[in-house]
Structure 1
């Protein structure tokens, strides 16, 4: 996985390997999904992030490339899936071709003091999937003490990557949240920034704060200097 950008000068093309090219729009068609996967390969993005129902098609398009096939579960309504259901879906996604999975967490359990259950919910997915699991921590919904606990439990559960939030509806990705996660995470656990990442400058700022992945649907615009008012961010 890439390391954080530290160079003083960064080109747009240099950002591509950090971007998880995301398409989660309702009603997305087969042709659009195929085009999305092809874009990921064309621009050299880190991954094509798509709904689980489209993972087999994307895996087929990206076979033979270095582009990851990523998907998310217990999302966009985070924390509503049972632990057993989440683990089973993770296993199913990997069989279908997913090589990375982002998961929602049980924020209500954390706030209720059910720490073992919170940790075991994540650990069950880690065991079932056998691929890197990225944990959406929804930092703005947590107190400072809860943030620390959530990070520590996610790491204990085997999370490979920590995320500040599931989407821009929860938090616009910012250097402060990313720097917090980078400082709290132990060696070997990395950080993904997510939430309304729409510009080149914003992307560079997040990478310089320590993120090694950026989840965004505006990846093409970011690396080509194009503009698209219709983009939504993950």
Structure 2
């Protein structure tokens, strides 16, 4: 049995594994300041925010050691041009982000455009200079496409593999996490994402080998108050 499978954490001890997420159209400046301060108060791994709020959140989190994460080509993935994605990645990094989650070109992968799929990701890695996490949208892929996506993403230089972009694609589960962990090369880690709502669910994902959990239900998880009715993305 691996050390991950034996992992034992209280709800509060799960905070350093959680990327505390707030990405929504109606969030205000005050909301984002509160979000950043929650990340510090509870010791979350990161505050995950929309690119437009990165400068504000980076200012709030300066000197705290909390990561400033943002997402690109999201929530509808694979709609940006590669040049536009790389340019935006560079700007997000300059604004203060320390990590970047990106959508991938699922359609290109399904079309056999492997070189283009890989370069789309590699362009972001080069332009941003940040640890990049790829949202692979595993449920949309055939078994062969899953294998290709993981291989090509790692060739492109990613730091993290993710099962999906959100709960609209997949509820994060141990099976998908294990699939990625088993194929992750040295130095590449796994982040789980998608409707993570409860402490028990989070612990099962960490025990499967994920090292980060992306969720908007971080407060419910660390207080063990989440349930199936909790809103989470």
TM range (shorter): over 0.9
Which residue is 1:99 aligned to? Answer: 98
TM-score (norm 2): 0.96
Which residue is 2:189 aligned to? Answer: 190
Which residue is 1:223 aligned to? Answer: 222
TM-aligned CA deviation for residue 9 of structure 1: 3.2
Q: Secondary structure at the match of 1:140?
A: helix
TM-aligned CA deviation for residue 56 of structure 1: 0.3
Contact 1:5–1:204 at 8 Å: present in 2 too? Answer: no
Taking the aligned partners of 2:145 and 2:110, their CA distance within structure 1 comes to 7
Q: How many residues align?
A: 231
Which residue is 2:61 aligned to? Answer: 62
Which residue is 1:25 aligned to? Answer: 24
| Consecutive unaligned residues in structure 2, runs of 5 or more | none
2:5 matches 1:15: no
TM-aligned CA deviation for residue 44 of structure 1: 0.4
Taking the aligned partners of 2:16 and 2:230, their CA distance within structure 1 comes to 23
Instruction: Decide whether aligned partners of structure 1 residues 5 and 16 sit closer, same or farther in structure 2, where only a CA change above 3 A counts.
Output: farther
Spell out the pairing of 1:109-128 with structure 2 (5 A cutoff): 109-128=108-127
Which residue is 2:232 aligned to? Answer: 232
Which residue is 1:133 aligned to? Answer: 132
Which residue is 2:173 aligned to? Answer: 174
Contact 2:199–2:226 at 8 Å: present in 1 too? Answer: no
Q: Secondary structure at the match of 1:202?
A: helix
TM-aligned CA deviation for residue 7 of structure 1: 3.7
Which residue is 2:159 aligned to? Answer: 160
RMSD of equivalent CA atoms = 1.4
TM-score (norm 1): 0.96
